[in-house]
Chain A
Amino acid sequence: SQKIEQNSEALNIQEGKTATLTCNYTNYSPAYLQWYRQDPGRGPVFLLLIRENEKEKRKERLKVTFDTTLKQSLFHITASQPADSATYLCALRSLSGGYNKLIFGAGTRLAVHP
């Protein structure tokens, strides 16, 4: 069956360190993968998209890698700040029933401590 797994339910790190979050998937062949941030009681906010032919994508302090052989994406936040504390969701595009749908992992909650 198809699965999207994110590495842990909660990740605690010290301010200034790099946070690394993992997204693994099985039985998908996504053309691209997306990362979202979700704050409590809010909808997801788009952060980055990476295509299957891209190894790495950067945006300010964020970096995403995509390894289609390992079926894994890594999401890095460098020089992390307490304001980065949130849940980070990875999502894959799935084409099914003629529709292009976004399927989400359960998310990893990140807590950055001062």
Chain B
Amino acid sequence: GAVVSQHPSRVICKSGTSVKIECRSLDFQATTMFWYRQFPKQSLMLMATSNEGSKATYEQGVEKDKFLINHASLTLSTLTVTSAHPEDSSFYICSARSQGTYNEQFFGPGTRLTVL
């Protein structure tokens, strides 16, 4: 299957700082990318959906000014957690889908964010 990478895999930051997480599709062009957040022992919660070159669509309850998403190219999406606080500590997972693979989404390995 297709490969999706995320960087960094782990990040620890101080409260109030901003953190950027990158998501790349390595061997296909991702027309749509998704960002999920997962708290311990809970399901993956969809945060936002982005199409290349368009503004992201955020799920209800997700602050778009806090979680900035950029999908500037067909192989790269970034999620920036602005002014991070301890409650933002979570496991962030991106997923990518290419045009034509209507059904299958490929997931990245996740990024563990810890805000002190």
Contacts and interface: CB of A to CB of B under 8 A. Distances in A.
B49 to A, nearest CB: 5
Nearest to B50: A99
Contacts of A60: none
B106 A46 contact: yes
Interface residues of A, number: 24
Contact of A102 (B1, B6, B34, B110): B34
Given A106-B41, A107-B43, 13 more contacts: A42-B109, A43-B4, A44-B44, A44-B93, A45-B107, A46-B1, A46-B105, A46-B106, A99-B57, A100-B102, A101-B34, A102-B95, A106-B43
Contacts of B57: 97, 99
Question: Which label, helix, strand, loop or mixed, suits the secondary structure of the A interface?
Answer: strand
A105 B95 CA distance: 16
B46 interface: yes
B110 A43 contact: yes
B60 to A, nearest CB: 10
A114 interface: no
A89 B106 CA distance: 14
